[in-house]
Amino acid sequence: MNSPRSLRNLVVVLCALAFLLFDSVGLPAGTTLAGRRVLVLGDSITQDGRYVSFLEYLLASRQPRGGRPDLISVGLSAETLSGLSEKGHPFPRPCVLERLDRALKATSPEIVVACYGMNDGIYHPPSADREAAFADGLSQLITQVRAAGAQLILLTPPPFDARPLRAKTVPATADAFGYDKPFVGYDEVLAGFARTELAVKDPGVVVIDLHGTLNAVLARERERDPDFVLSPDGVHPNDGGHLLIARMILLGMGYTPPDLTLSQISADPRFALVRERRRLRSEAWLPFIGYQRGEKFKSASVDAAEQVVRHLEKELDAGGTR
C-alpha cells in the first residue's frame, strides 16, 4: 500500500492532469449520480469492489443525508466485452453480453458504469481481429444500455504494468500467450481499446479515461521512485489505485473529490458500512442476475440481502453509529 504522503502526492498529480483528460468528455448538463440507481459492470477489478466502495463513500461525503446513489455492483472475474478467451484458460471467459439483458431488466438502472478491456485482448500482442471484437462488443453494450433508457459511463481499462511481471511476460515471438504468460507490451493493446472508447461520440455515453490518467500518474511517480507500482501483479490495482479510480470517476462526472487519505477513510465507521453494503449487494445480485463461469450460477432472490442493506442504510443515515 502506498503511504498517505505518496497518495496525497498522487491526488495532486491527478487533479493537475484532470483538465487535460476530462475537458473534452462533454458531460451532459446536470449529470449526477446522487439518488439514482446505478449498475456497475466489469471484470475482476470491479468485482474486487474497492473503487466502488470508495466511490460511494466519497459521493456520500459530498451529498446531503439520503443523497447517495442506489448502487449495485456486479463485476465478474475473467469477464470480457469481446467474447474472446485464450487457449489454456481454465474455462471459457464469460462475456458480459451473455448477462447484460438480464442485468438491465433486473436492476432497471438510470446509469450504467462499465469497465472492460483488461481481459479483452486475452494477453496477446495487438491484433486487428481482437480490436474488432472489442469494438463490436462495445457497440452492442451501447445499443442495449440505450434501449434500456439508461446513460452509460465507460471507464477505459486501467494500465497493464509489465514491470512487476518481469519473470512472467513473454515477447511477441512467443508460441503462446495468456494471463499466466502475458505479452510484455500488452499495455499497447489496452491503449488501443481506450482509443476505441474515447472515439465514441454519443450523447448518452460519457467516457472517463482511467488508462491515460493512471499511466500518466505512474510515469510521474516513477521519476521519483523507479519501483513505484499501482498494480503489484501488473493487472489489479492496490488500495491507492482503487482510490484514484474512484476520484477519476468523480472528476469525470464534474465533482470535486474530498481530499481524504486512505487512513482517514479507513478510520471512518461509515466507510465500513458502505463497504459492507457494497459487498452484500454484489454477492447477492451477481447470482440473482445469473452468470456463467465454466458452469451456470443462478439464485432465486435478493430479498434477504436487501433487508440487511436497508438496515445498513439506516445506520449510515444515523452517522455510522451502531
Distance (Å, whole) CA 144 – CA 149 = 9
5 or 192, which is more confident?
Answer: 192
The pLDDT tens digits of the residues spanning 97-140 come to 999 999 999 999 999 999 999 999 999 999 999 999 999 999 99
Distance (Å, whole) CA 284 – CA 131 = 33
Name the DSSP class of 157. Answer: P
Distance (Å, whole) CA 290 – CA 271 = 28
Closest alpha carbon to 71 in 97, 34, 44, 31: 34
Asked whether residue 322 is assigned to any structural domain, the reply reads no
Q: Summarize the confidence of residues 225-246 as an average pLDDT.
A: 96
Considering its fold, how many domains does the chain have in total?
Answer: 1
The answer to whether the pTM exceeds 0.95 is: no
Q: Angle at Cα 58 formed by Cα 55 and Cα 62, nearest 5°? A: 130
Distance (Å, whole) CA 152 – CA 71 = 14
Residue 65 pLDDT grade (very low, low, confident, very high; cuts 50, 70, 90): low
Q: What is the pLDDT of residue 20?
A: 42
Q: Summarize the confidence of residues 170-180 as an average pLDDT.
A: 97
Residue 187's domain comprises 4-317
Asked whether residue 265 is assigned to any structural domain, the reply reads yes
Whose cell is 512467443? That residue is: 174
Q: Summarize the confidence of residues 15-34 as an average pLDDT.
A: 50
Largest CA distance in the chain: 59
Closest alpha carbon to 145 in 71, 210, 204: 204
CATH code of the domain in which 217 resides: 3.40.50.1110
Asked whether residue 20 is assigned to any structural domain, the reply reads yes
Closest alpha carbon to 147 in 112, 179, 176: 112
Distance (Å, whole) CA 180 – CA 177 = 8
Is residue 141 over pLDDT 90? yes
